[in-house]
Structure 1
Amino acid sequence: MDIEVDSNLFKNSKITNKKHSFCGKSEKVIKLVEFDFSHLAGHLVNGNLEAEFQVKIKKMTGFKILKLRNFDDDVAKKFSDVCLMAGKQKFYVSKLFVASHSTYFESLFLGNFQESQKSEIELKEIDSEDFQNFLEVLYGESAINDDTVEGILNLADMYDAKTAIRRCEEFLLEKSKNSIKFKFTLAVKYKLDALKKKCYSELKTTAEIRELVPAKADDFDPFVWKELFLKATSPQ
């Protein structure tokens, strides 16, 4: 874990601020964040301490994310007829079930491709965690959150999985706490019209509109630029 601690100690209208960064493993990093009371005694007022600590976890590695559904256990293997490989991870699934949710896999499994006869198919350059989350959505699990939605949406668009796309858009419309720029960028990239319309409705100032402008102009097509221009020049 890589942790940054920003501490503010208050006394008689004065603020002492310190920022510390810690790196460590397991319980050791937690002990690094602890403060010895003797270090704080000089800031007591009538035995009381007024302080504010903001702890930011900048990076974590080695933590296993709990799966909502296993695609490599005995149950998955028993009811599967194909194994999909993403990275070094194997996913045992039903061809007909996955094909019913994705036109890409429908063509791959049921079309006249060489892969349709294989029992194991490699999906090249696909992140295994994103694919795990994508499959969980297809199988009805609640895998969509602010951290996973972009990866799921990318695969849903790549594999033309309309149910997964719809569920991602519903999450972004109703539950996501991500910024309007993040949502608008996804709405444009993946043609999520309802989400784009909502983003437009939430823009109140020209400064907010400018926030949506991407680093590369080519990221937005001319129609989107026109919509932003009309929004910026229309009476608020």
Structure 2
Amino acid sequence: MYKRNVQDDNATMAENVFKANGRKEHLQLYDVHNIYNDPYQGSNNKSNKNVSNCKQKIGEGNSDGLNWTWIAQTDNAAITTTSEKVISSYLRFKWDKLDGVLGFTGTIEFLLKKDGVVLANEELEAVVEFSGQWIGIRNLIEFKKVFSEHANQQQQINRNMFQNQNQQQGCVIEFSFSLSPVFATPVLRNVNSNFEKSHITDAVLEVEEKQLHVNKSFLSIHSEFFDKLFNSSFKEKSQSTIVIKDVDASEFSNFLSLIYPNQVEITVETVAKYLVLADQYIMLAVTQKCEEFLLQNKRVKTIQKIVFSDQHHLHKLLRETLASVDSREELDSLTMLPEFSMLSDSTKAALLHKYMHFIN
């Protein structure tokens, strides 16, 4: 059973608080070492000693564009801060169409009850930093406090006794969250001030009737394109006004600002266009800024980073992105995406090399 609190449709997203709650009765988990099932799971099985943990996907939902997935699992003592096996609970948050949202802050609460008695009730301050992030509590409660082999037998007897009396029995787990969005707050800069006429400007770039006053030597240092334009035998060498065609004036001035003091912020929405312009005008400094942005930004999907690497020869981005892939299954999923077919042979070879790493 899942419940969702819907906010006033007239509220702006900035004022909206994303809320949801869920409940699972007769939670079914097993001991990661003894491998016996709880009384509502079925047979007692102690044959498999190699299972590292038991993960149960309990449910998923959508709260006004914020998607969540809920799991509970038993964790091996080797990856917990206790010597005992524990039960943990996690939520995964993903959003694709919430424009300008970088993440969320708020609270998440997990509650676990056994036969109507509250055994664990934990609330945590949540900071969701990127889409797809898991947030939760490892070591919500020790496994033995909820399930034991002896307790399993008694619980089955109790369940049989009360099943016709409409009394709540078994293991129940609940969650609730209340999260507020965190928006991108780009620094407002006067980009146009970079291109005002001054004693150091000696040329004008005209883009869609917008005039940008520039310094030829400065542009030549940063751009091989402008270096050849200003210092070779092209007719533009002697012209004071040079027309730049086939580009949006605002996009071009924002692009050029990336080598000036008053720079625009690179965003997920603009990085692709800046990379194309950096290639067109052979401006390595802008390419490097875009690569660093992609390396640090967790909102950009792995396959997108690989495509950017392939299209714009971003070797560092490709190397570090492939290093972050930690399973053969993740690589398999990448090869199934339509973007994979567009990759060059050299990039596919790098993916194959990574694949062989997991096989060996």
TM range (shorter): 0.5 to 0.7
Pairing 1:197–2:197 present: no
Tell me if the contact between 2:254 and 2:264 (Cα under 8 Å) persists in the aligned partners: no
Structure 2 counterpart of 1:95, one-letter code? K
Measure, in 2, the Cα distance between the counterparts of 1:84 and 1:233. 51
Structure 2 residue matching 1:234: 3-state secondary structure: helix
In structure 2, do the counterparts of structure 1 residues 173 and 72 end up closer, same or farther at CA, with 3 Å as the change threshold? closer
Pairing 1:77–2:197 present: yes
Q: Equivalent residues in 2 for 1:1-236 (5 A)? A: 15=3, 32-33=10-11, 53-54=64-65, 66-70=188-192, 76-78=196-198, 79-140=200-261, 141=263, 143-175=265-297, 177-213=299-335, 215=338, 219-235=342-358
Q: CA deviation at 1:201?
A: 0.8
Q: CA deviation at 1:160?
A: 1.4
Per the normalisation by structure 1, the TM-score is 0.66
In structure 2, do the counterparts of structure 1 residues 217 and 14 end up closer, same or farther at CA, with 3 Å as the change threshold? closer
Structure number with higher strand proportion: 2
Q: CA deviation at 1:193?
A: 0.9
Measure, in 1, the Cα distance between the counterparts of 2:65 and 2:299. 20
Structure 1 residue matching 2:192: 3-state secondary structure: coil
Which range moved further: 208-217 or 107-116?
208-217
Q: CA deviation at 1:162?
A: 1.4
Q: CA deviation at 1:88?
A: 4.5
Per the normalisation by structure 2, the TM-score is 0.45
Tell me if the contact between 1:85 and 1:120 (Cα under 8 Å) persists in the aligned partners: yes
| Offset from partner CA, 1:43-62 (integer Å, 9 cap, x none) | xxxxxxxxx5459667xxxx
Structure 1 residue matching 2:243: 3-state secondary structure: strand
Tell me if the contact between 1:82 and 1:92 (Cα under 8 Å) persists in the aligned partners: yes
Structure 2 residue matching 1:235: 3-state secondary structure: helix
Structure 2 counterpart of 1:199, one-letter code? T
Q: CA deviation at 1:219?
A: 2.8
In structure 2, do the counterparts of structure 1 residues 202 and 85 end up closer, same or farther at CA, with 3 Å as the change threshold? same
Unaligned runs of 5+ in 2: 13-62, 67-96, 100-186
Tell me if the contact between 1:81 and 1:94 (Cα under 8 Å) persists in the aligned partners: yes
Measure, in 1, the Cα distance between the counterparts of 2:283 and 2:270. 16
Structure number with higher helix proportion: 1
Structure 2 counterpart of 1:182, one-letter code? Q
Tell me if the contact between 1:149 and 1:168 (Cα under 8 Å) persists in the aligned partners: yes
Tell me if the contact between 1:71 and 1:93 (Cα under 8 Å) persists in the aligned partners: no
Structure 1 residue matching 2:197: 3-state secondary structure: helix
Structure 2 counterpart of 1:149, one-letter code? V
| Offset from partner CA, 1:106-126 (integer Å, 9 cap, x none) | 001121101122222222222
Tell me if the contact between 1:101 and 1:163 (Cα under 8 Å) persists in the aligned partners: yes
Structure 2 residue matching 1:201: 3-state secondary structure: helix
Measure, in 1, the Cα distance between the counterparts of 2:350 and 2:267. 29
Measure, in 1, the Cα distance between the counterparts of 2:249 and 2:303. 27
Q: CA deviation at 1:216?
A: 6.2
Tell me if the contact between 2:303 and 2:339 (Cα under 8 Å) persists in the aligned partners: no
Measure, in 2, the Cα distance between the counterparts of 1:95 and 1:176. 37
Measure, in 1, the Cα distance between the counterparts of 2:333 and 2:8. 31
For 2:23, the equivalent position in structure 1 comes to none
Please tell me the root mean square deviation across aligned C-alpha atoms, in Å: 3.4
Measure, in 1, the Cα distance between the counterparts of 2:323 and 2:2. 43
In structure 2, do the counterparts of structure 1 residues 121 and 67 end up closer, same or farther at CA, with 3 Å as the change threshold? farther
Tell me if the contact between 2:203 and 2:214 (Cα under 8 Å) persists in the aligned partners: yes
Which range moved further: 173-182 or 159-168?
173-182
How many aligned positions are there?
A: 191
Structure 2 residue matching 1:138: 3-state secondary structure: coil
Measure, in 2, the Cα distance between the counterparts of 1:178 and 1:115. 39
